[in-house]
């Protein structure tokens, strides 16, 4: 089995730089969203995630933990865990062009009837996330861009068709503190089963959840 050390792509804020330009977010409606992972070497190589389960918890007033599933939670085709480390403010947060505020782990489950069998690939990295509302609301909109991910762990026959890639997309998230941790545990269990050894896809928050507002 192939195993590569986790990639940490966090960079230090560059004070005094111009304020960041933030993308338009979708209006709050149904939950879910889309993330696209595009190869840096082949623009036509794209892994698309269409997530119908999109939930978040708010461990602190300025951070969130996000869990996403594509397909049923007991047999997903993709899952993703995102940790927003700090919340930027529109036209107020000065950042370097390479600054990041979110860590991301995207898990790809090959279907059991695929030629590869029950294979799995874990793409890890970091990027930039902006959320439309203060953490703690029932629903929030989020946008991800300039996120660099690489394959950091996989089962033996998993084929990486992307190499280093950029993740972008938009999400509508529903707040559900208990489900975030329950489904995060489910992801960890499925990953361990397919890899054959434990591999945590994000851990539980160290702080208690933010009180509802």
Transcribe 164-192 into DSSP letters.
SEEEEEEEEEEE-HHHHHHHHHHHHHHHH
Helix (H, G, I), strand (E, B) or coil at 13: coil
pLDDT of residue 7: 35
**Cα 151 to Cα 204: distance, rounded to the nearest angstrom:** 23
**Cα 211 to Cα 93: distance, rounded to the nearest angstrom:** 25
Domain contains 184:
yes
Domain contains 211:
no
Domain contains 200:
no
Does the pLDDT at position 207 exceed 50?
no
Phi, psi angles (nearest 5°) of residue 170: -130, 150
The domain of 50 spans: 2-195
Helix (H, G, I), strand (E, B) or coil at 194: helix
pLDDT band at 3 (very low <50, low <70, confident <90, very high): very low
Q: What's the pLDDT tens digit per position in 77-132?
A: 999 999 998 887 654 454 555 578 999 999 999 876 666 568 999 999 999 999 88
- For the chain, the domain total comes to 1
Place of tokens 């507002």: 213
Domain contains 122:
yes
Residue 156 CB partners (closer than 8 Å, separation 6+): 1, 2, 119
Domain contains 188:
yes
Q: Can you give the pTM of this predicted structure?
A: 0.78
């Amino acid at each position: 089995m192939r195993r590569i050390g986790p990639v940490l792509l966090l960079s230090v804020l560059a004070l005094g730089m111009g304020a960041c330009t933030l993308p338009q977010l979708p209006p709050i409606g149904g939950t879910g969203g889309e993330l696209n992972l595009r190869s840096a070497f082949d623009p036509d190589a794209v892994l698309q995630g269409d997530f119908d389960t999109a939930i978040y918890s708010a461990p602190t007033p300025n951070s969130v933990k996000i869990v996403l599933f594509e397909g049923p939670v007991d047999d997903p085709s993709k899952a993703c865990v995102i940790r927003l480390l700090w919340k930027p403010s529109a036209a107020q947060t000065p950042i370097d062009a390479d600054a990041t505020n979110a860590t991301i782990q995207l898990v790809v489950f090959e279907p059991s009837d695929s030629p590869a069998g029950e294979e799995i690939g874990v793409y890890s990295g970091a990027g930039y996330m902006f959320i439309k509302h203060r953490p703690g609301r029932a629903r929030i909109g989020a946008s991800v861009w300039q996120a660099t991910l690489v394959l950091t762990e996989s089962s033996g026959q998993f084929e990486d068709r992307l190499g280093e890639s950029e993740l972008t997309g938009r999400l509508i998230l529903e707040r559900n503190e208990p489900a975030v941790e329950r489904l995060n545990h489910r992801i960890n269990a499925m990953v361990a089963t397919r890899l054959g050894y434990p591999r945590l896809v994000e851990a539980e928050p160290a702080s208690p959840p933010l009180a509802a507002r």
